[in-house]
Amino acid sequence: MSRFPLDSKDVREDKDISVSSPSGPSPEVTRLGEWTTSRRELWCFYLYAIGNNGLAGFRFAPSQIQNLLHSAGYDPSQPPFAKPCGRGSDCVLPFMGHVRNINSIILLINGIYFAIQAVMLLVIGAWADYGTWRPNILIFFTILSICTSFAWLGVQEPSQWRGAVFLYVLSVIPFQCCFTFWYAAIPGVVRNLPEVQASADEAKKGFKSLDEHFRFESLARNRISNTSLAISSAVQVLILAIMIGILKVLKSDTSVENNTKAFNVLLAFSGGVLLLCAIPWFIVEKRRPGLVLPPGSSFATIGFKQTLFSLRECFRLKQTFLYLIYFFLMGDALNTAMTVVATLQNSVVSYSTSQLTLLYVVATISGSLGLYLSWLVQKKFGISTKRMSLFSVFWILVFMIWGLIGVHTNKIGFKNVWEIWLYQVVFGLLIGPWYIFSQTMIFEVSPLPQVFLFFSLFSVVGRTSALIGPFVSEAIISASGNNNNMPFAFLFGLATFSTVFVFMVDVKKSRVECEEFVAAEIGHDLFGMSTM
């Protein structure tokens, strides 16, 4: 059957065909029942989110690598390695040809792995568009993530910090790639929900307007996004409770050595959870067909072609391009700011696994409540995705101002334990939802027949932006005499500047632009318009 979507004027009054898209028709002709999303598939989709919860790659791995660097480092006020680093004192290590503050090293490492990640997504990100490759990519990165989680058990001494840096990079990249290719399943899962198919059928028959259907599908995407992450966050509380029990058994607080080993055990445990939660999704997911690989193209080159093409076409899609700029700048500012706070947090709690785990419990509960409450508010009042995102942006700016205050004082600015606890609550409730709404809005400003192309572009841009901030922040810390709060000056300005672009984005205009774009490109080979 034809893989290219039908134009709305070509859709017949035929009950076995469902068409939906806020930016054009569906990327495949879907017969009711063939790809319909079942409750079992939907719950397996949610289950995967529980496993890929970020505890390994996003939380414990960064804390462990900083813990190892601190244990291996030395006080710069004394001869090299003459005096170990103390709590609250400067701590340095030779890295990449220079003696650097360990917070600077963390920022450099993050910049490096973001660069690697960006290149990888540039090459393989487009594979999600074609055939049934996306599930295979997700399986590969899931297995890699599980393996690296267990590999941490081999890191026992601070002297192994160089190897741990490599392992850290291998831990965080699979987590981000797993999230990207798992989240990329949402358009197909949502479009094939029975209620969304029914809404599309009503719109086709004239029982409701297209705008009403578009709003219905947009809310469905937000509902699935928020529900998946809210469920994941809720179950994380149970997972973290088990981890606290593990820490008690390991007596993690009795010595630095026990604390280091405890980090590794928690990382391995996280890998085991991912293994159990991923298998059902891999078995149940319906491999909905994508586009046909264009003649003369290969999987080795299609990513570059798609990225160059979509970048060029973004200039034709004004609203999409404006949102791309905003996504680039705000993502850079927020991701880097989170890294800066994480380094300050780890130092404040002295890398204690028990303290960090309790903090993650608070962060998980507040994050779950934030997602759930934001969805309830959006549903009750019909607030647009853009406005929901802007609400979080306001609190992002407040958060960065707080960090900026710490440049000239040691009283506040993520310098105290109580601030770290408050940060976890505020971030989960008010800032965390930005990630969901910003991702969901990509679907609202992209031509849906090529949604994976543009989603991949946004993913690459997002990962690329996150490598600039860490390098700039590292340079700022070094130039300011190791003032770890100084990067907030740059990050606050960057975040403020980015808001100008999101205010300029008009979602309704974007729909018109995307429809015109699809019509104009109806004969373009890159979109896989051949039949099979």
pLDDT in tens, 395-450: 999 999 999 999 988 899 999 999 999 999 999 999 988 988 888 888 788 886 66
Q: What is the pLDDT of residues 192-222, one digit of tens each?
A: 999 998 988 888 888 888 778 877 887 888 7
- H helical segments located in 299-352: 302-314, 318-348
Residues in the chain: 532
How remote is the C-alpha of 121 from its chain's centroid? 13
Regarding beta strands 30-31 and 17-18, do their DSSP bridges make them parallel or antiparallel, or are they unpaired? antiparallel
Q: How far apart are CA 304 and CA 126, in angstroms?
A: 8
> Residues 291-306: what's their mean pLDDT?
74
E strands, 69-203, in order:
92-95, 98-101
Q: How far apart are CA 442 and CA 184, in angstroms?
A: 11
Q: How far apart are CA 289 and CA 313, in angstroms?
A: 24
3-state secondary structure of 423: helix
* 445, 449, 455, 456 alpha-carbon torsion, rounded to 10°: -150
Residue 214 structure tokens: 């578009």
How remote is the C-alpha of 192 from its chain's centroid? 24
Q: What is the pLDDT of residues 372-387, one digit of tens each?
A: 888 889 888 888 889 9
**pLDDT over 90 at 266, yes or no:** yes
Q: What residues contact residue 516 under an 8 Å CB cut-off, 6+ apart?
A: none
Q: How far apart are CA 360 and CA 370, in angstroms?
A: 15
3-state secondary structure of 288: coil
3-state secondary structure of 193: coil
Phi, psi of 2 (to 5 degrees): -70, 135
Q: How far apart are CA 531 and CA 529, in angstroms?
A: 7
Q: How far apart are CA 144 and CA 328, in angstroms?
A: 27
Q: Which amino acid is at 323?
A: Y
Q: What is the pLDDT of residues 483-522, one digit of tens each?
A: 889 999 999 999 999 999 999 999 889 888 888 877 776 6
**pLDDT over 70 at 9, yes or no:** no
Q: Which amino acid is at 54?
A: G
* The pLDDT of residue 467: 64
Q: What is the pLDDT of residues 137-157, one digit of tens each?
A: 899 999 999 999 999 999 989
Nearest alpha carbon to residue 502 among 442, 431, 451: 442
- H helical segments located in 8-132: 39-51, 61-72, 102-124
Residue where the block lists tokens 């999303």: 37
Residue 53 structure tokens: 């919860």
